[in-house]
Structure 1
């Protein structure tokens, strides 16, 4: 039976906390997994992905699922800053040993994947992303006429799935950015992150979904130019992140297990 510690505060000032899921066999060589939930930076909770914490613990990881500040009350770079605050807390907490950094891996769903990329660039943790949005500035330039909506089908009467996706994409991007300011959007782009320490990365995306595959391919080109290693898995259909996660959890965990083995 998985043991869970709820609401362990990692940022006193913002009153942000994490839940911790313990594997049955915990040793000094415990593998640690950070899971970043999605929700467009304006919704989503660590409680909503409890079953995933249990799954990661059952796979042998001590799993941490942190919460982070949400928009519109908290705009960019609040969630990004929270992610770094969490990792610094974790590395200096009672839950890690001095050499545990090499045992830490990440999975991020949707914008949680974007946060995972930001963290990976600074700490080098092996990372898997599920449908991580990576481009905001160029996308906005190409979608001036799109009206933002959290539910474009009902609010705007849209019926085409691509139009609905575009409307939602614009909604969550501008909500977290606080505006459509190009300078802010450029800083949000994953290609603008400090990726000096980026190590093993696997990106999973559907062929035709909310997150444009073309932007993912452009990001991978940037990584290749900087001689970074990345695996891309493109799956059929239009599912986004948690829509296909159960079907690709084995591939994700196997990738992370292999990276930990190679580092030892």
Structure 2
């Protein structure tokens, strides 16, 4: 069983903490994994992914699950800044050695995947995203008539999954952005991030889900245009992020292990 250290504070000013899951048989070959939880930047916490984090530790990774600032109390780029702050803290903490940067990998679920993209671009950590939203400015511009809600099924009696997804997408985007200001939304777009140090990236998405597949394909074209390596796995169905994450954990970890070996 994993050994868990809870509530290790990494930002005293914001009182943000991380849980750490240690493999029971930690060795010098143990790798480090950062898991970024989802929740649309307005909900979710590190406790919600505890069973998954235990599985990650049992797979041989010292696993960090950081919390970050949530909207509407904290608007863009608060959560993104927290992610960078966490990585800087980790690299300078007692939990890493000076040469451990090459041993760090990431998995990010939903908007946690979006944050993982930003971190990957700056630090080069091999990364897997599960249903990371990547387009905000174009999406909002093309969905002006969509009514925003975190629960459109009950709020508007919607039954069409596409309507429910669109309503939720608009809600979490505009909540974190603090509105529909195009300049802010463009900065939120994944294509606006610094990818100068991007190394290895695998994106997993369902064929028909909350994260529009066409936006993911456009983002991959953007990365390819700038000569970045990226793999895309499209799975059938409508499941989003954590809905399929456990089923694709082996594929995700195999990819990350191979990339760690390649970096040596």
User: Could you state the TM-score of these two structures normalised by the residue count of structure 2?
Assistant: 0.99
1:224: which partner in 2? Answer: 224
Q: Does residue 1:13 correspond to 2:13, yes or no?
A: yes
Aligned-partner Cα distance in 2 for 1:23–1:153? 41
Q: Does residue 1:101 correspond to 2:96, yes or no?
A: no
**Secondary structure of the residue that 2:231 maps to in structure 1?**
strand
Query: How far off is 1:163 after superposition?
Result: 0.7
Q: CA deviation digits over 1:111-154, x for unaligned, max 9?
A: 00000001000000000000000000000110000010011111
Q: CA deviation digits over 1:217-247, x for unaligned, max 9?
A: 0000000000000000000000000111111
Query: Does the 8 A contact of 2:131 with 2:241 survive in 1?
Result: yes
Aligned-partner Cα distance in 1 for 2:231–2:213? 14
Query: How far off is 1:29 after superposition?
Result: 3.4
Query: How far off is 1:165 after superposition?
Result: 0.5
**Secondary structure of the residue that 2:93 maps to in structure 1?**
coil
1:160: which partner in 2? Answer: 160
2:83: which partner in 1? Answer: 83
Aligned-partner Cα distance in 1 for 2:188–2:41? 12
Aligned-partner Cα distance in 1 for 2:94–2:66? 16
Query: How far off is 1:79 after superposition?
Result: 0.2
**Secondary structure of the residue that 2:211 maps to in structure 1?**
coil
2:41: which partner in 1? Answer: 41
Correspondence list, 1:198-213, <5 A: 198-213=198-213
Query: Does the 8 A contact of 1:21 with 1:64 survive in 2?
Result: yes
Aligned-partner Cα distance in 2 for 1:22–1:252? 19
Query: Does the 8 A contact of 2:105 with 2:126 survive in 1?
Result: yes
Query: Does the 8 A contact of 1:110 with 1:240 survive in 2?
Result: yes
Aligned-partner Cα distance in 2 for 1:16–1:132? 23
**Secondary structure of the residue that 2:9 maps to in structure 1?**
strand
Query: Does the 8 A contact of 1:6 with 1:20 survive in 2?
Result: yes
RMSD between superposed Cα atoms in Å: 0.6
Correspondence list, 1:134-173, <5 A: 134-173=134-173
Report how many residues are paired: 264
Query: Does the 8 A contact of 1:29 with 1:103 survive in 2?
Result: no
Aligned-partner Cα distance in 2 for 1:159–1:105? 38
Query: Does the 8 A contact of 2:52 with 2:246 survive in 1?
Result: no
Query: Does the 8 A contact of 2:199 with 2:229 survive in 1?
Result: yes
Q: Which runs of 4+ in 1 moved over 3 A?
A: none
Query: Does the 8 A contact of 2:124 with 2:197 survive in 1?
Result: yes
Aligned-partner Cα distance in 1 for 2:103–2:228? 20
1:239: which partner in 2? Answer: 239
1:255: which partner in 2? Answer: 255
Aligned-partner Cα distance in 2 for 1:225–1:40? 29
Query: How far off is 1:27 after superposition?
Result: 2.6
Aligned-partner Cα distance in 1 for 2:157–2:24? 50
Correspondence list, 1:91-130, <5 A: 91-130=91-130
2:59: which partner in 1? Answer: 59
